[in-house]
Amino acid sequence: MPAVSKGDGMRGLAVFISDIRNCKSKEAEIKRINKELANIRSKFKGDKALDGYSKKKYVCKLLFIFLLGHDIDFGHMEAVNLLSSNKYTEKQIGYLFISVLVNSNSELIRLINNAIKNDLSSRNPTFMCLALHCIANVGSREMAEAFASEIPRILVAGDTMDSVKQSAALCLLRLYKTSPDLVLMGEWTSRVVHLLNDQHMGVVTAAISLITCLSQKNPDEFKTCVSLAVSRLSRIVSSASTDLQDYTYYFVPAPWLSCKLLRLLQCYPPPEDGAVKGRLVECLETILNKAQEPPKSKKVQHSNAKNAILFEAISLIIHYDSEPNLLVRACNQLGQFLQHRETNLRYLALESMCTLASSEFSHEAVKTHIETVINALKTERDVSVRQRAADLLYAMCDRSNAKQIVAEMLSYLETADYSIREEMVLKVAILAEKYAVDYSWYVDTILNLIRIAGDYVSEEVWYRVIQIVINRDDVQGYAAKTVFEALQAPACHENMVKVGGYILGEFGNLIAGDPRSSPLVQFNLLHSKFHLCSVPTRALLLSAYIKFINLFPETKATIQEVLRCDSQIRNSDVELQQRAVEYLKLSSIASTDVLATVLEEMPPFPERESSILAKLKKKKGPGAVSVTELEDSKREGGELNGGGDRGPDTSAMAASNASTPSPSADLLGIRSAAPIGAAPTSAGSLLVDVFSEAGPTAPSAAVNDDGFLRFVCKNNGVLFENQLLQIGIKSEYRQNLGRMYLFYGNKTSVQFASFTTTMVLDNQPQLNVQTKPVEPLVEGGAQIQQVLNIECLTDFSDAPLLNIKFRYGGALQNLTLKLPVTINKFFQPTEMSSHDFFQRWKQLSQPQQEAQKIFKANHSMDTEVLKAKLLGLGSALLDNVDPNPENYVCAGVIQTKGQQVGCLLRLEPNAQAQMYRLTLRCSKDSVSRRLCELLAEQF
């Protein structure tokens, strides 16, 4: 930039600023400003033409006055005239005034655009930069229309100076964000991408910001940037701090550029080219290794730069979710930050580990830090860090640690900040339902939840516990006894009264045999809370009273007396008055049989998912349930499926409104016994017939099976992705039944029309698949969900196909995917001793029952990774069974409707030769062969 000469000091401006600062009052300041404005106006209107210096000085004074908060309604034309000056300082002030004061709808825009065009074509780098800065600062649509085609040419021109390229890249980024439809790269795409190879690091840093933004909207056009980004990242990561002296920040080479490169790579799936992928993995490993090195400086700037790169690298590792070693190492590195003295690092570590907990490969590694996370929940001073700790406990929860985590979250609830209590309550309710194998524990947990944080227990929570109690005979007596005891507390929350009124009204007879909980004692206990409750709760209690008359005739006189009193039949609330009158009349004139019919026990609720999870995600805010966050669902399904998400209605203890299915709730009715009184299913299918049937049609598109093998040993993730559509999958299986959720995400800003999906099951009588139709319109950026119910009738080898058709921009899109439904999904794990295993192994000794394959290792032979994949297979991984401790053995039974197929597996790794020998013995030969084919591709 040209130096400012001594004569450009603008003494008059300095005097004016000094006068303003010396003003003793606001009135004095306004008086001085008005005087100056009058002077400037007279100078601009005077007959004497002003020279460039004077114009610059007066325009600068106007700019200063504007920045003080005063309106400026003149001087714009003089500022535009300064743009034609050949002096840098005059042109600079003109552009500065325009950038700050000129409205994008101003009539002067055309004049300004002409001046900018002249400067852009002048080839003077200083003037070009000023013009580009002005375009970026104003950023109006008019400027985008005028210069969107010119700036890319300047950006890629061979004779453009580096400083101008930097300004051009950032200017183009600004225009793209304000008017994306006007910035069309077209022929410039490949040349813009190749700016990543530019020798000037500043150009690369500016260009990568532009490319990242463009890649998010048009990933296919810019996919060649991946290999260039990996190459540039590799050079930076492997360089010493002295190699890039001009771009080294506190001993960290080019930290901002490194972060931008890692962020760009997160716009794409893992590279398909093996060499590029290997180089990227090396870069990530180097970043993780450097994190372990002693710091080269004690300055906070050094650690900030180093950690910024580390966290971006971990985000990329999580995004790929395909490198088990890196995932586990990332988890271990984050674990070290959990006890760091810096609060921000602890927060970021907890946040990143929440995402890691969803990965099949790193979930177990995350669980090892449970004590540290619990301690953070109890001792952290910052509420936002405590909230992240609660989120991580929720994410790492599974069947093995559910009781411990729920207990800790309940304990924390007593002292938790009010801002996060409602969310904590929802999480505790979800975990208690999802992982409860003991219904009494579930009931205890929810009642304890109401006791501790009753004000934050939403209707969905207490509705749900009632639904589950109604649908489970074995817990009804215990629930009645427990809620009766809870109601005896002197201070009892109103939600507890609601639950108590409902459960005792339905199942109070189950504890009436005990004199301490006789019918009259139950009634008096409930009625003692009546006058302290709100109108809706009183209405529910009145319904419970009339139920008592049916269950316990001996309480009839007492309850009728209560209903007959003036406070009930003449109540100012119409609802309470009507109930009291109607219930009193019903109990007086109806016969015992009629009363028993009208007030019979509530039937089981129909099987639907819980609405608690939907409420939690709604509380998290818009966009919380994206396809890429499917991994947030847990690996193990709960044992509870208490029925529909319908709340009890206070008028007849009926249900209220059904909820929308949620992917992370209990997925199947198969997790629990069929509801009592449920309608019988058809002979041809064990699945509940609630979905419409669609006849399969042969797809015309080629079958895409790229993601098929990735899901043999896992159930959740992204099945397919291109520039238009992302398809996520979440599935759960039990015995011979399965349910699959498919999530279709529109990645564009344009609506998908005529969106249809068709299941193709040609020549596959082994599977019965029921599908729910999808919405025909998918808005831009939106996501829709489809549910598939799957029943395995007998063993199979071919997976079902899903044909997807929709119109995008008038063009018909046709896609056929192979769904990851494989025979091992119907595994039930079987625990065996060493003796039993080899005895059964010998029994399966017929040649056709064995399938064996020796093959070279395709992936890392890491022990933890192998165990994770074998567990993901679905069979039981047996410890201390094989005489060779290096070998792995598994046992399980494949459940089909027609038969059960016992399977034994033995995997013998040879680390030195990087080879495996896989042997399977099954009671059915076709199963042995199919499992051997599938598993050989996983190791």
pLDDT tens column, 301-331: 998 999 999 999 999 999 888 888 999 999 9
The two tokens of residue 933 are 């084919």
Alpha-carbon distance 697 to 715, whole Å?
A: 26
pLDDT at 213: 92
The sign of the torsion formed by the CA atoms of 435, 441, 442, 448 equals negative
The two tokens of residue 492 are 């009892």
201 alpha-carbon distance from chain centroid: 34
| Torsions phi, psi for 497 (to 5 deg) | -65, -40
Alpha-carbon distance 602 to 522, whole Å?
A: 19
Backbone dihedral region for residue 139 (phi beyond 0: left; psi -120 to 50: alpha; all else: beta): left
Alpha-carbon distance 235 to 797, whole Å?
A: 47
Contact between 850 and 923 (Cβ < 8 Å): no
pLDDT at 655: 32
Q: Quick: pLDDT tens for 499-524.
A: 999 999 999 988 988 889 899 999 99
8-state DSSP, 439? H
Tokens 């304890």, located at residue: 448
Alpha-carbon distance 500 to 467, whole Å?
A: 13
pLDDT of 401 higher than 50 = yes
Alpha-carbon distance 213 to 260, whole Å?
A: 11
Identity of the amino acid at 847? P
| Torsions phi, psi for 80 (to 5 deg) | -65, -35
CB atoms within 10 A of CB 574: 9
Length of the chain: 939
Q: Give Cβ neighbours of residue 128 (< 8 Å, ≥ 6 apart).
A: 119, 120, 122, 154, 164, 167
pLDDT band at 204 (very low <50, low <70, confident <90, very high): very high
Contact between 228 and 217 (Cβ < 8 Å): no
HSE-CB of 50 using CA atoms within 13 angstroms:
22
Alpha-carbon distance 409 to 403, whole Å?
A: 10
| Torsions phi, psi for 647 (to 5 deg) | -85, 155
Alpha-carbon distance 3 to 193, whole Å?
A: 35
Identity of the amino acid at 271? P
pLDDT of 333 higher than 80 = yes
Contact between 59 and 14 (Cβ < 8 Å): no
676 alpha-carbon distance from chain centroid: 36
Contact between 751 and 806 (Cβ < 8 Å): no
User: What does the radius of gyration of the chain's CA atoms come to, in whole angstroms?
Assistant: 35
| Torsions phi, psi for 903 (to 5 deg) | -135, 135
8-state DSSP, 735? T
Q: Quick: pLDDT tens for 660-718.
A: 333 333 322 323 333 333 333 333 332 233 223 333 333 345 666 667 778 888 888 88
- Bridge partners, residue 744, by sequence: 727, 784
Hey, is 608 helix, strand or coil? coil
Tell me whether residue 590 is exposed, middle or buried, using C-beta atoms within 10 angstroms of its C-beta: 0 to 12, 13 to 18, 19 or more: middle
Q: What is the DSSP string of 179-213?
A: -TTT---GGGHHHHHGGGG-S-HHHHHHHHHHHHH
Alpha-carbon distance 26 to 399, whole Å?
A: 69
Sheet with strand 752-760: strands edge to edge: 703-704, 811-818, 801-808, 752-760
Across residues 224-241, what is the average pLDDT? Answer: 87
- Bridge partners, residue 733, by sequence: 738
pLDDT at 21: 93
Q: Quick: pLDDT tens for 54-104.
A: 889 999 999 999 999 998 888 888 889 899 889 999 999 999 999 888 776
The Cα-based distances of 382 to 346, 369, 386, 417 in angstroms read 10, 20, 7, 10
pLDDT band at 4 (very low <50, low <70, confident <90, very high): very low
Alpha-carbon distance 574 to 539, whole Å?
A: 11
- Bridge partners, residue 742, by sequence: 729, 786
The answer to whether the predicted template modeling score (pTM) of the entire model surpasses 0.75 is no
Alpha-carbon distance 639 to 622, whole Å?
A: 30
pLDDT of 615 higher than 70 = no
pLDDT above 70: percentage of residues in the chain: 87
Average pLDDT over the chain, rounded to whole?
A: 82
In 623-674, at which residue ranges do the beta strands (DSSP E only) sit? 648-649, 654-655
pLDDT at 106: 66
Alpha-carbon distance 716 to 360, whole Å?
A: 9
Give the helix/strand (H/E) hosting 868: helix 863-873
Contact between 140 and 109 (Cβ < 8 Å): yes
The two tokens of residue 910 are 């040879």
Alpha-carbon distance 837 to 904, whole Å?
A: 8
pLDDT band at 609 (very low <50, low <70, confident <90, very high): low
Q: What is the DSSP string of 76-141?
A: HHHHHHHTT-SSHHHHHHHHHHHHHH--TT-TTHHHHHHHHHHHHTS--HHHHHHHHHHHHHH--H
180-184, 254-258, 366-370: least confidently modelled range: 180-184
HSE-CB of 448 using CA atoms within 13 angstroms:
18
How far apart are the two ends of the chain, measured CA to CA in Å?
60
**330: closest CA among 369, 370, 382?**
369
Tell me whether residue 491 is exposed, middle or buried, using C-beta atoms within 10 angstroms of its C-beta: 0 to 12, 13 to 18, 19 or more: exposed
Tell me whether residue 389 is exposed, middle or buried, using C-beta atoms within 10 angstroms of its C-beta: 0 to 12, 13 to 18, 19 or more: buried
Each residue of 552-566: b (16+ CB within 10 Å) or e?
Answer: beebeebbbebbeee
Backbone dihedral region for residue 250 (phi beyond 0: left; psi -120 to 50: alpha; all else: beta): left
